[in-house]
Homo-oligomer: A and B are copies of this chain.
Amino acid sequence: MKKLLDDPANAVADSLEGFGLAHADLVEVHTDPFYVTRASGAVQGKVGLVSGGGSGHEPLHAGFVGDGMLDAAVPGAVFTSPTPDQIAPAIQASDGGKGVLAIVKNYTGDVLNFETAVELAEAEGVEVASVLVNDDVAVEDSLYTAGRRGVAGTVAVEKIAGAAAVRGDDLAGVTAIAERVVANVRSMGVALTACTVPHVGKPSFDLGDDEIEIGIGIHGEPGRHRVALSGASDITRSLLEPVADDLGLASGERVLLFVNGMGGTPLSELYVVYGRARRLLEERGVQVSRSLVGNYVTSLEMQGASVTVLRLDDELEALWDAPVRTPALHW
């Protein structure tokens, strides 16, 4: 295992320490228990947004804490759900008097621990709503999930719901917007290589030198099938078509196209996939009106990528465009 770490058991804590120092203008890292909030605390009169999940997917979620997106993020151990005693104080710290929306990726551990945390926060008088992100079309039910997994589409949920909160929507309104994003976003990914969890020290799964896994999960959970390595056009088609079909995209619609890197793939290759995916959408008569390309929901150093498509309307597009100022998204 080759990693820039000291004690692998402290990987998350050491990384969060650096993260907090590098972005002290935007975030504050709390250490007992671990959670991350906006440096300036909850915004009075604004619905708070909290997300979280296992570490190893950076910049998700802590990289999206700031103006116009999350108020708090709760990092678990690598690929391990955060605990209720981490999540509950993050929810409380995000309440500006209008309640808090918890954005939860659909993994059984995350769902259960957020449920418990929401009960704890409600017992302290915070009004809390939850939305479940399950955008991965690859498989129904998986290693850690009942139903579909939540993957890169989470970025769109957090960005757009964050903008709705800044706009002044109440808790029901922000929740409805988040649910509209969930209903209109789909993703699918591919792994070229496995990743290695620091405290485990060996790759999470084996892939042959000439083999890739189509439909991989962001923890290396099995996908749809293993196939021989082929070209970017073939691979992109095998990701984009299930996504577009599941969305039921029709000619004349417009979308956000988001090509996400898994951590170990060069940006140059992500742009190749983006170009191929865009061409396939255009062949369907679908207009790509917004784009995002980069490493946003990663699996440590895994080589691979995912393709996410979000069906847009005027309101979702305007909320996507609204200003955002976080460590990882900024416009």
> Does any Cβ of B come within 8 Å of A244's Cβ?
no
Query: Residues of A with Cβ closer than 8 Å to B?
Result: 2-7, 11-12, 14-19, 21-23, 55-56, 58-59, 63, 192-193, 209, 212, 229, 231-233, 235, 263-276, 278, 288, 291, 293, 295, 298, 300-301, 303-305, 325, 330-331
Q: Complex formed: what's the CA distance from A55 to B270 in Å?
A: 14
Inter-chain contact B192/A22, CB cutoff 8 Å: no
Partner of A267, one of B6, B268, B295: B295
Chain B: minimal CB distance from A172 (Å): 33
Asked if B15 and A268 make an inter-chain contact with CB atoms under 8 angstroms apart, the answer reads: yes
Tell whether, in the assembled complex, residue A265 and residue B301 are in contact, meaning their CB atoms are under 8 Å apart.
yes
Query: Are B2 and A275 neighbours in the complex by a CB distance under 8 Å?
Result: no
CB contact under 8 A between A4 and B192, given known A266-B301, A268-B58: yes
B15 touches A269 (CB 8 A): yes
The 3 closest A-B pairs by CB, nearest first: A18-B275, A18-B271, A4-B269
Q: Once the chains are docked, how many angstroms separate the CA of A217 from the CA of B6?
A: 24
Contacts of A55 in B (CB 8 A): 268
Establish whether residues A11 and B268, one from each chain, have CB atoms under 8 Å apart when the complex forms.
Answer: yes
A266 to B196, CA, bound (A): 11
The distance from the CB of A12 to the nearest CB of chain B, in whole angstroms, is 8
**A274 and B4 contact, CB distance less than 8 A:** no
A232 to chain B, nearest CB (A): 5
Taking CB as reference atom, which chain B residue is nearest A325? B331
- Quick check: B301 and A18 within 8 Å, CB to CB? no
Known contacts A59-B267, A263-B266, A268-B56; A293/B18 CB under 8 A: yes
Docked Cα-Cα span, A5 to B276, in Å, equals: 10
Contacts of A58 in B (CB 8 A): 266-268, 271
Given contacts A263-B267, A267-B298, A301-B303, 8 further A-B contacts (CB under 8 A): A4-B235, A4-B265, A6-B272, A17-B275, A21-B288, A21-B291, A59-B267, A266-B298
Q: Which B residues touch A303, using CB under 8 A?
A: 2, 264, 301
Q: Tell me which residues across on chain B come within 8 A of A18, comparing CB atoms.
A: 270-276, 278, 293
Most B CB within 10 A of own CB, among A12, A23, A272: A272
* B300/A4 in contact, CB under 8 A: no
Contact A11 B331 (CB under 8 A): no
Tell me the smallest distance from the CB of A16 to a CB of chain B, in Å.
Answer: 7
Q: Which of A3, A55, A291, A295 has the most CB of B within 10 A?
A: A3
**What chain B residues lie within 8 Å of A11 (beta carbons)?**
268, 272
Q: Tell me the complex Cα distance, A264–B53, Å.
A: 23
Q: Hey, which chain B residues are within 8 Å of A212, CB to CB?
A: 2
Residues of B within 8 A of A270 (CB): 4, 18
**Which residues of B lie under 8 Å from residue A19 when comparing CB positions?**
271, 274
Contact B232 A14 (CB under 8 A): yes
Q: Return the chain B residue nearest A275 by Cβ.
A: B18
